[in-house]
Each structure stands twice: as C-alpha cells, then as structure tokens.
C-alpha cells in the first residue's frame, strides 16, 4: 500500500511505498559528514542495491531525506536526482563542475524540472557533500573512504519518514 508524501512541494503528490519509506528512514540515520553505500542499505533491508537506488531516484523528500549520502560500493559518486555520469568519462573542471557522458533516468510521473546541462545535478550532490565535510576527488571518488564510510548500526524498525 502506498502513502502520500507529507512534504509540501511540487512532488508531494507522489505516492511513497512502504519499501521507499523504510529506505528513507535508514537514510536519516546517516550522520552528516558520512556516506553509505546502496549495498549497505540493501543488506540492512534484505534487498538489492538496485532496489535501493530506485527508491532514492524517486525520493520526493530530498534533501531532508539525504539521498546524497549514498554512493556506490567502490566509493564512486554514482547518481543524483536520476542523473548519472559514466565512470570512465567522469571529470571535474577547475570550477568544480562535473563533465562526462551523462544519463538521465526517467522518474515516475510528470517531469517537473527543465533539462539542465549534463553534470549539473551531480555537481550539486558533490557541493552538498562538501558542505557536510565529505570530499570527492576529480575522478568522482569519495576521499578518505575509511573515515567517512558509514555502515550502521541500522535501526530497521525506526519510525517511517512519511506519515
């Protein structure tokens, strides 16, 4: 059974499944200045990293529910708001903008935001993480992984985010 998102925004009419709610509740447990992986959340919920990624891609509560704190198992920055950059072509310009072969997944429901230049959304994710103390190198990898990578303990019975 789906719930309606409680946040007032352009996406608040999106429905949130029980599974998405569980993923969002775990994201809220990641401290500022730390990141986790799709796989870590998947292990806590006994599901696949891809299912976690799909829940994050459709997160109507960002940035309050910090999907930006989730990275790939290798420490690669992966996607943000449905945008991903091919790891082999990923690079950052001197002004910090992400460049490379971009892919935009199609979110469910109507597209709200206009098309932006490739790398715009990932540049925003990197800036948000930087502001929280997580640094990303020019190849899209989390720096100081051992220090910033967080893998629980997870409270899988935490209250759900949407009510």
Average pLDDT, consecutive stretches of 10 residues, N- to C-terminus, the chain (163 residues): 41 76 97 98 98 92 94 89 78 76 62 60 90 92 94 92 68
pLDDT at 5: 44
Can you give the pLDDT at residue 106?
Answer: 59
What distance in Å separates the CA atoms of residue 129 and residue 162, rounded to the nearest whole number? 24
Active-site residue flag, 67: yes
Domains and CATH numbers, the chain: 16-104+113-147 (1.10.10.10)
Separation between Cα atoms, residue 113 and residue 29, nearest integer Å: 28
Angle, to 10 degrees, between the axis of helix 38-45 and the axis of helix 49-57?
A: 110
Of the candidates 16, 56, 67, 142, the residue annotated as catalytic is 67
């Amino acid at each position: 059974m789906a719930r309606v998102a409680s946040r007032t925004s352009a996406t608040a009419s999106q429905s949130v499944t029980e599974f998405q709610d569980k993923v969002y509740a775990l994201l809220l447990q990641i401290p500022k200045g730390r990141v986790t992986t799709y796989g870590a959340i998947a292990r806590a919920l006994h599901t696949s990293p891809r299912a976690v990624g799909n829940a994050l891609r459709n997160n109507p509560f960002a940035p309050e529910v910090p999907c930006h704190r989730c990275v790939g198992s290798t420490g690669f920055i992966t996607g943000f708001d449905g945008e991903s950059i091919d790891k082999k072509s990923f690079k950052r310009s001197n002004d910090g903008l992400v460049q490379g072969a971009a892919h935009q997944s199609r979110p469910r429901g109507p597209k709200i935001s206009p098309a932006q230049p490739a790398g715009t959304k990932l540049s925003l994710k990197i800036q948000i993480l930087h502001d929280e103390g997580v640094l990303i190198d020019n190849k899209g990898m989390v720096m100081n992984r051992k220090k910033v990578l967080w893998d629980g303990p997870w409270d899988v019975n935490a209250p759900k985010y949407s009510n």
